[in-house]
Amino acid sequence: MEDTIAAISTAPGESGIGIIRISGSESLEKALMLYRNKENQSVSSLENRKLTYGKIFDSEATAVIDEVLICYMKAPHTYTTEDVVEIQCHGGFVSVRRIMQQLLALGVRAAEPGEFTKRAFLNGRLDLSQAEAVMDLISSKTELSHGAALGQLEGYLSREVKTMRNKLMDLMAAMEVSIDFSEEEDIDEVTYHGVEEKTHLIIGKIQKLIDSAKTGKILREGLKTIIVGKPNVGKSSLMNALLKETRAIVTDIPGTTRDVIEEQLNLRGIPLVLMDTAGIRDTEDLVERIGVDRAKQLFEKADLVMMMLDASTPVTKDDLDIMQMIQKRKALIIINKADLPTALSQEDLPDWIEDHQILKISLLEEEGLDQLEEALENLIFDGEKKDREKQMVTHIRHQQALENALIALEEGIKALKNRMPLDFVQVDYQEAMEQLGIIIGQSVKEDLIDHIFSNFCIGK
């Protein structure tokens, strides 16, 4: 943590500018070994937080590498809380790399993925959930995901967790007092009651956060949504219609799609990973059969299913077999080709199909797509309003910690009800505290921290 690190912080590729970020106690010193001002003179310092024009030379000061704007940001009010220098040069592959090489030659170390943010965390400027939010913010693909990440970065979750931990601490203290005066039975009674009552409030809070995690995960990772149905019902046509581009091949030959086609889709702010699959049927064709098996495997892992039927053909055994698979799943039933004379009789479908929403559409005439999008949105959010995205739990890691804290507190309540000795009850509260601490990065092990930051991109 002591050494000075550098990385190219902008994405590779041709661009107007590229930025190299340096952090650590020697940032300024090393940067100045390469920097010359507009009179081509070396300087002994740079003004804090001022963008200054100049040039970067190689370390022998013989050749100009690029014209730059340089900015020195003095510790501690910086991204990492250390001294930081950012060099803005021209974009593209060459300038940024050559400047990096010069810095490395001067003994600056290439930063590991996420190392700047890791330093911000280890130096106490961000807690762990906020550091994770930085990554989410960068990788978010829709407005809603972005909102959720921003809420977390601004510390919504941290604040909730800290408040709950403070309350738990108070309860532990109350129990402590009671233990110290354990001869007086009335005090104990009051404590048992009071602690139990207040614990219920905290449990309610935790439960609410856990409930939000379901939607939160969707916003972060995208919801795996699979289109299934027998061949030729219009699955690929639906994929194309939702993407608003001709992504999948559409023909009137049953068995057109052999492989899984996967695309990201932003559906009214909800990130979906949309999958078009081979029509499911028994087939002798080897390639098609592999496609069908693949479709079935992915089906198992999908969060959401769109099952398609063809209004112009009667219900077949293939339809019924597929239908069997979706009975217990979060699914929409889509009857396509509503423009054609109807041959499909809903009476041939199983009764429980009523549990799912059934939509009639015609992709040919572009009828019913709006309703379909709306139905998807409602299914995803269970009809709840989605504008609470800033107050959502988006990480499995956080969700698990919350669930463990909940279990511990429920154990605690049980122990209180049974009038177990208070020092015994305290163990559960201690556990709940620790679990909540994991979210914000207190009481976490080093390997977990390493693991989290290793998923970051270089330069962040």
Ligand X SMILES: Nc1nc2c(ncn2[C@@H]2O[C@H](COP(=O)(O)OP(=O)(O)OP(=O)(O)O)[C@@H](O)[C@H]2O)c(=O)[nH]1
Residues in contact with Mg ion by CB under 5 A are 235-236, 256-257
**Helix axes of 422-440 and 156-180: crossing angle, nearest 10 degrees:** 160
Instruction: Select the residue whose beta carbon is closest to ligand X and give its number.
Output: 279
Long-range contacts of 94-99 (CB under 8 A, 24+ apart): 95/18, 95/65, 95/66, 96/8, 96/10, 96/18, 96/19, 96/20, 97/8, 98/58, 98/65, 98/66, 99/20, 99/34, 99/56, 99/65, 99/66, 99/68
Residue with Cβ nearer Mg ion (235 or 360): 235
Separation between Cα atoms, residue 327 and residue 426, nearest integer Å: 45
Nearest distance, CB of residue 267 and ligand X, angstroms = 19
Separation between Cα atoms, residue 22 and residue 30, nearest integer Å: 9
Out of 54, 151, 216, 279, the only residue in the binding site for ligand X (CB under 6 A) is: 279
Task: Check binding of 234 to ligand X (CB under 6 A).
Answer: yes
Residue with Cβ nearer ligand X (96 or 302): 302
Closest CA to 234 of 320, 308, 302: 308
Task: Check binding of 73 to ligand X (CB under 6 A).
Answer: no
Instruction: Choose the contact partner of 363 out of ligand X, Mg ion, none; CB within 5 to 8 A by kind.
Output: ligand X
Instruction: Choose the contact partner of 12 out of ligand X, Mg ion, none; CB within 5 to 8 A by kind.
Output: none
With contacts defined by CB under 6 A, name the span among 100-108, 138-146, 225-233, 431-439 that binds ligand X.
Answer: 225-233
SS3 296: helix
What tokens appear for 8 in the block?
């190219």
Instruction: Choose the contact partner of 124 out of Mg ion, ligand X, none; CB within 5 to 8 A by kind.
Output: none
Task: Check binding of 145 to ligand X (CB under 6 A).
Answer: no
Task: Check binding of 232 to ligand X (CB under 6 A).
Answer: yes
**C-alpha distances in angstroms, 252 versus 235, 293, 336?**
12, 22, 14
Nearest distance, CB of residue 303 and ligand X, angstroms = 21
Out of 105, 364, 396, 448, the only residue in the binding site for ligand X (CB under 6 A) is: 364
Residue with Cβ nearer Mg ion (256 or 430): 256
Residues numbered 291-310 forming contacts with ligand X, rule: CB under 6 A: none
Instruction: Choose the contact partner of 350 out of ligand X, Mg ion, none; CB within 5 to 8 A by kind.
Output: none
Instruction: Choose the contact partner of 234 out of Mg ion, ligand X, none; CB within 5 to 8 A by kind.
Output: ligand X
Nearest distance, CB of residue 348 and Mg ion, angstroms = 24
Residue with Cβ nearer Mg ion (237 or 399): 237
Letter string b/e over residues 29-54, b meaning 16 or more CB atoms within 10 A of that residue's CB: ebbbbbbbeeeeeeeeebeeeeeeeb
Residue with Cβ nearer ligand X (140 or 336): 336
Number of residues forming the site for ligand X (CB under 6 A): 24
Nearest distance, CB of residue 265 and ligand X, angstroms = 16
What is the four-CA torsion angle of 86, 91, 97, 103, rounded to 10 degrees? -20
Task: Report angle CA 338, 342, 344 to the nearest 5 degrees.
Answer: 105
Residue with Cβ nearer ligand X (81 or 283): 283
- Give the CA radius of gyration of the chain: 29
Residue with Cβ nearer Mg ion (256 or 442): 256
Separation between Cα atoms, residue 202 and residue 198, nearest integer Å: 7
In one-letter notation, the amino acid at residue 209 is L
Separation between Cα atoms, residue 59 and residue 101, nearest integer Å: 10
Out of 363, 372, 401, 405, the only residue in the binding site for ligand X (CB under 6 A) is: 363
Give me the numbers of helices (H) and strands (E) for the chain, helices first please: 14, 13
Task: Check binding of 231 to ligand X (CB under 6 A).
Answer: yes
Task: Check binding of 199 to ligand X (CB under 6 A).
Answer: no
Task: Check binding of 368 to ligand X (CB under 6 A).
Answer: no
Task: Check binding of 433 to ligand X (CB under 6 A).
Answer: no
Half-sphere exposure of 340 (CA within 13 A, CB side): 14
Task: Check binding of 236 to ligand X (CB under 6 A).
Answer: yes
Residues that bind ligand X (CB under 6 A): 229, 231-237, 250-252, 254-257, 278-279, 336-337, 339-340, 362-364
